[in-house]
Amino acid sequence: GENVEQHPSTLSVQEGDSAVIKCTYSDSASNYFPWYKQELGKRPQLIIDIRSNVGEKKDQRIAVTLNKTAKHFSLHITETQPEDSAVYFCAASGRDDKIIFGKGTRLHILP
């Protein structure tokens, strides 16, 4: 089955700087890659997703890139703000339609 690796587990960046979170997946048949943000005690919320027929997608300060050949995808957050502090999960979905999550990255935005 699919296996998703996510790095780093913890990331601290100065407010206003950029944050990058990287993930790799194992199943070459995976074709859908969502990113979720989870604040303490709350449900995960979708922030952006990308499908395998696209290499990059951007939504305001958030962008995601996908390299199918290397089987890795990344989340980029620019001009970080205090409200960006949360846990971010990457995920991959493939032939069996399940969505498998990475272990998460705890992002701290420093004032």
Partner 1 sequence: GAVVSQHPSWVICKSGTSVKIECRSLDFQATTMFWYRQFPKQSLMLMATSNEGSKATYEQGVEKDKFLINHASLTLSTLTVTSAHPEDSSFYICSARAGRSRSPLHFGNGTRLTVT
- To the nearest whole angstrom, how small is the minimum distance from the Cβ of residue 32 to partner 1? 4
Residue 107 within binding range of partner 1, rule CB under 8 A: no
Which residues 6+ apart lie within 8 Å of 102 measured at CB?
4, 5, 6, 23, 89, 90, 91
Pairing of strands 10-14, 105-110: parallel
The answer to whether the peptide bond before residue 8 is cis (omega within 30 degrees of 0) is yes
- The nearest distance, CB 34 to partner 1, in angstroms, is 6
Site for partner 1 in 23-42 (CB under 8 A): 31-32, 34, 42
Site residues for partner 1 per CB under 8 A: 31-32, 34, 42-46, 49, 51, 89, 93, 97-104, 106
